[in-house]
Amino acid sequence: MSLLRIRNLSVDFATASGQFRAVDGVDVTLEKGELLAIVGESGSGKSVSMLAVMGLLPWTATITADEMSFEGRDLTKITPRERRSIIGKDMAMIFQEPMSSLNPCFTVGFQIKEALRIHMGMDRATRNNRAVELFDQVGIPDAASRLNTFPHQMSGGMNQRVMIAMAIACNPKLLIADEPTTALDVTIQAQILDLLIRLRDEQDMGLVLITHDMGVVAETAERVSVQYAGQKVEEQPVKDLFRHPYHPYTSALLSALPERATSKILPTIPGVVPGQFDRPQGCLFSPRCQFADEKCAQTPPVPCGPEQGRALCHHVDAIEAGEMA
C-alpha cells in the first residue's frame, strides 16, 4: 500500500472572472520513506495540488479526484474531525516563508508545545522536554532558552528550522516541503536541505519537495514529477530524467541549468505559464515549445508509457528520432 496515492486530481477556483483550473488531472504516488520532487515554474499548480491533499484550500476551490488516499484512507471521504487528527500529525507541511507561517504573537516554544499538546496529549514537562529535543534535532543552538523567543527575534534560517521542528514534532509519516529554502540565502539553503534529508532517513518518512530549482532536485530527490500549467508533463527517477528527458519542457528546464550551459548566456524558455485567459486549446506548452505544430495547437496530448516518462507530448518519438529539429 502506497503512503500517498492520488489519481486524476483537479482543482478549480471560482474567481470574479469565472472558473480557473489550477490543477488538471494530476497523479502522484509516494511510498514510505521516499523522496519525490515536484518541479515546475511559478504557477504550475505545485502548491495547490499539495494544499488540496492537506485540505488547506479556501472554499472557492473545487477539488475532484478519482482517488486521494493516505495509507489507504480515502481523504475525500474523511470527516473534518478525522482530517484534523491526521493533518499536522501524520501529514505535515512546511512553507516557503517561515515568518508568515509562524504566529508573531506567541513564542516559538509555545507554538511547538501547542502542537504536542493537541496531537500527542503530552503533559507540560514532557512537552517542554520534547520541544528542547526537537530544537536540538533541527540544529537550533541553545535550544532551551530559544523556546522563549518570538519569531521576529530569530533569523529566517532559524525560523525555518522552527517550522521544520513543528512539522516533525508528531513524527509525521509524510512531510510536504513547499519551497522550504527559497527565502533563505544559499549556505542556509544547503543546511536546510541536508536537514530534511537526514530527518527523512532517520524517521523513514515520505518527503515531497516542491521546488522550481532543478539543481536542488539533482542533489536530493529520488523521483521527479514535472508539472506545467497544472498538468504533470513527465515523471522519472532523478538519474533517468537528467540523462534522458522526454518532454520538451523538461529538456528546456534542464538546459537552463548553469552547469549545462554551452554559452555565456543561459538559455531561457520564452513566454510564461498560461493563466486563466490564455490557456491554449491543445498542448498547454505548445505556445512556448520549439517543436510545436498544428496538432499540438489543436489537440490535447495523452501521456506516453512509463518507459518514456509518461511524457505528455504528441511528438516524443519524432523528437527522439531527430525528425522535429
Ligand X SMILES: Nc1ncnc2c1ncn2[C@@H]1O[C@H](COP(=O)(O)OP(=O)(O)OP(=O)(O)O)[C@@H](O)[C@H]1O
Give contact residues for ligand X (rule: CB under 6 A).
Answer: 13, 15, 20, 22, 40, 42-48, 58, 60, 212, 275
Q: Shortest Cβ distance from residue 95 to ligand X (Å)?
A: 10
Cα–Cα nearest to 52, from 87, 81, 18: 87
Q: Shortest Cβ distance from residue 159 to ligand X (Å)?
A: 19
Q: Shortest Cβ distance from residue 60 to ligand X (Å)?
A: 6
Please state the φ and ψ torsions of residue 117, each to the nearest 5 degrees.
Answer: -70, -50
Q: What is the DSSP string of 228-289?
A: ETTEEEEEEEHHHHHH---SHHHHHHHHTSGGG-SSSSPP---S----SS---SS-TTGGG-
Greatest Cα pair distance, the chain, in angstroms, is 69
The residue (of 204 and 278) whose beta carbon lies closer to ligand X is 278
The residue (of 109 and 180) whose beta carbon lies closer to ligand X is 180
Q: Shortest Cβ distance from residue 204 to ligand X (Å)?
A: 27
Q: Shortest Cβ distance from residue 133 to ligand X (Å)?
A: 32
Q: Shortest Cβ distance from residue 207 to ligand X (Å)?
A: 17
The residue (of 33 and 43) whose beta carbon lies closer to ligand X is 43
The residue (of 8 and 15) whose beta carbon lies closer to ligand X is 15
Q: Shortest Cβ distance from residue 183 to ligand X (Å)?
A: 12
Cα–Cα nearest to 135, from 109, 103, 154: 109
Q: Which helix (H) or strand (E) holds 26?
A: strand 18-30
For residue 35, the SS3 value is: strand
Q: Shortest Cβ distance from residue 80 to ligand X (Å)?
A: 20
Specify which residues 20 forms β-bridges with. 13
Specify which residues 29 forms β-bridges with. 5
Report how far residue 57's alpha carbon sits from residue 180's, in angstroms, rounded to the nearest whole number. 19
Specify which residues 37 forms β-bridges with. 209, 224
The residue (of 20 and 110) whose beta carbon lies closer to ligand X is 20
The residue (of 1 and 16) whose beta carbon lies closer to ligand X is 16
Cα–Cα nearest to 160, from 185, 141, 180: 180
Report how far residue 22's alpha carbon sits from residue 134's, in angstroms, rounded to the nearest whole number. 36
User: Strands 91-94, 61-64: parallel, antiparallel or unpaired by DSSP?
Assistant: unpaired
Q: Shortest Cβ distance from residue 237 to ligand X (Å)?
A: 22
Written in H, E and C, the secondary structure of 61-83 is: EEEECCEEEECCEECCCCCHHHH
The residue (of 99 and 118) whose beta carbon lies closer to ligand X is 99
The residue (of 132 and 221) whose beta carbon lies closer to ligand X is 221
Q: Which long-range contacts (CB under 8 A, 24 or more apart) does 250-259 make?
A: 250/226, 250/309, 250/311, 252/288, 253/39, 253/214, 253/226, 254/214, 256/214, 257/214, 257/215, 259/215
The residue (of 40 and 109) whose beta carbon lies closer to ligand X is 40
